[in-house]
Amino acid sequence: MALSSLAFPPLHLQLPSSHRSSSSKPFPHNKLILHPIKASISETPSYTPKPTDATSSPAHHQPTKLPLRKIPGEYGLPLIGPFKDRLDYFYNQGREEYFKSRIQKYQSTVFRTNMPPGPFISSNPNVVVLLDGKSFPVLFDVSKVEKRDLFTGTFMPSTELTGGYRVLSYLDPSEPNHAQLKKLMFFHLSSRRDHVIPEFQNSYKELFDTLDKELSTHGKANFNSLNDQATFNFLARALYAANPPDTKLGQEGPKLIGKWVVFQLHPVLKLGLPNFLEDLLIHTFRLPPALVKKDYQKLYDFFYKNSTFVLDEAERMGISREEACHNLIFATCFNSFGGMRILFANMLKWIGRAGVKLHTELAQEIRSALKPSVHNNYNNKMSLLAAIEKMPLTKSVVYEALRIEPPVPTQYGKAKSNFIIESHDSKFEVKEGEMLFGYQPFATKDPKIFDRSEEFVPERFLGEDGEKLLKHVLWSNGPETESPNVNNKQCAGKDFVVLVSRLLLVEFFRRYDSFEIEVGSLPLGSSVTVTSLKRATSF
C-alpha cells in the first residue's frame, strides 16, 4: 500500500471497544497486574520466513477433498446452557481457554456453543464458532452473511445511546442508508486529509512532553491516560478543526466517551468485580441509557457545533443533520478513539517486549529515511509520506501488532442461505439463519498459516513472502489486501489507521532510542506504564 497516494478514506474504524486508563473510571483497576519489561534483556531473534508462512507453497495449490462433517458441539438446555457457558467464558475458564478447551473436546476449529451475554439480554446466544484462518474470512462475505445489528454480537445496545438511530456499524450493506452514510464518512476524512499529519505531530509532541515531565517527577508515567487525551485532541483537531481544551468540553472528552462506551459494551466486558455481583449487574440486565444521557449530550453539542461542513454535505446527500451527527460521534468516539487507544498501547507493549535490538533497528530506519525530509521540510506532508514508504520494518511491525492482537477480536454474521464452510481439515454445512461467530486472534495466529504464530515477529511481513501474508491480516473487518467500499463492511478508515500507527512509531523513535515499560491487563487492551526513556543520541 503506497501511503503517499492515499486519498484517506473516512473515519469508520470498526473497533468495538475502548478501555479505561489506570487513572480513570469506570473500569476498576483493583486487579491490575504489572509485569516489568526490560528492553535490554528481551531481544527478538532474527526471523526468516519459512515456506509454510506463505500461501504460495506447493501444498497450498494441491486441492484436497475434505470430508463433510456435521458441526460438533451443543447449546444445552434453554437458559441453563447459555448461563453455564457465560460463567465458563468470563470466570471458570476465561475467553482463551473457553475456546481452546472446546477445540480439544470436539477436535475441530468449527463447532457450536453459546456466546455471552445470553439470558436475559440476548434472545438467542447460539452460534457456530469459526476459529481458524481458513473458515474465518466467510464472515466478511456479505453475499453469504448478513451483518444487520451484529456489530456487538448476539445483542444490540439500545439506540437511545445513539440518538435513536441505528448507526452505520449496525447496518447491513443491503440497507439503502448504508451506502449513503459510508459515502459521507469517505467525504469527511478525504476533506480533512491535509490536517492529519500536522495535527498528529502536534498532539503527540504534547503527549511526549508530558510523558517526559511525569517520568522525571514520579519515576514512571501512565501511557494510557496521556494517550487518551492526545488521541481525542488529535481527532478533534484533525477532523473538526476544534481544540477541545478551548471549548466547553475541555478535558472531559475521554471520560465521557468511556462511560458511554461501557453502557454499550457492558454485557461482554469483564470489569473485575466479584463474580456473582458482576454477572448480575452487567451481564444479566441492561444498564439504563438515561444514566449517560447528559454525558452524551455534551459530546453531541461539541460535534454538532464543529462539524458544520460535514452536516451540510449530509443534507445535500439526503441525510438529516441529526442522523449524520450521531454517526460522526460513533465513528470518531467509539470506532476511532476506542480503537486507537487500544492499538497504540498494544503496539508499545509488543515493541517493548521485543527489546532494545528492535528499538535500535526502528530508530535507525526511521531516522535514516527522515533525514532528507528534515533537510527539506519535515512538516511537508508529501515528503514525510515518501519517507514513511522507505520504512519497511516500521510497516511490518505495525502489521504484526495488528495480527497478533487485533483491536477488534470478534466478528459475527448471520447466514443468508445454506452453504458450506471449510476449515483446514473438514467441510461443514451451515443453515440459513444460523449465527456465525469468529474469534479473530485464533484466525490470525493460525499455525497452519503463520510460522511461530504465537510470537511477535517484527520482520514477519518483510520481503515478497511477507507481503503474501498480508491477506491473512484481518483486523479491519476484511483482508489487508482489500479495500473498503460502500458494498462491504470493511473499515472505511483502514488506511488512516495504518498511517497513524506508523506515525506514532516515527514520532516516538525520532525522540527516543529505547524504553522500558510495565504492562498490565485491562478489560479491553493493555495498560502500559513507562518506567524509563532513553532520549535520542543522534539524528
* Sign of CA pseudo-dihedral 375, 378, 384, 388: positive
**Residue 502 near residue 3, CB atoms below 8 Å:** yes
Cα distance between residue 346 and residue 521, in whole Å: 11
Rounded to 10 degrees, the C-alpha dihedral 313/189/261/253 comes to: -90
Annotation-wise, does 333 bind a ligand? no
* CA 89 to centroid of chain Cα atoms: 21
What single DSSP character describes residue 68? B
- Alpha helix (H) residue ranges in 15-124: 80-87, 95-106
**233, 244 Cβ separation under 8 angstroms:** yes
- Percent of the chain that is helix, strand, coil (3-state, to 5): 50, 10, 40
Phi, psi of 517 (to 5 degrees): -140, 165
The rounded distance, in Å, linking the Cα atoms of 89 and 93 is 6
- Using CA atoms, how far apart are residues 428 and 441, in angstroms rounded to an integer? 21
- Count of CB atoms situated within 10 Å of the CB of 310: 23
Question: Residues 6 or more apart from 218 whose CB is under 8 A from it?
Answer: none
| DSSP assignment of 201-256 | HHHHHHHHHHHHHHHHHHS-EEHHHHHHHHHHHHHHHHHHS--GGGSTTTT-HHHH
Residue with cell 441505528: 166
Structural Rg of the chain based on CA atoms: 23
Task: Give me 378's grid cell.
Answer: 519535515
Let me know the angle formed at the C-alpha of 186 by 180 and 187, rounded to the nearest 5 degrees: 90
- Return the closest-CA partner of residue 263 out of 280, 285, 279: 285
Binding site residue list for heme: 491
Binding site residue list: 491
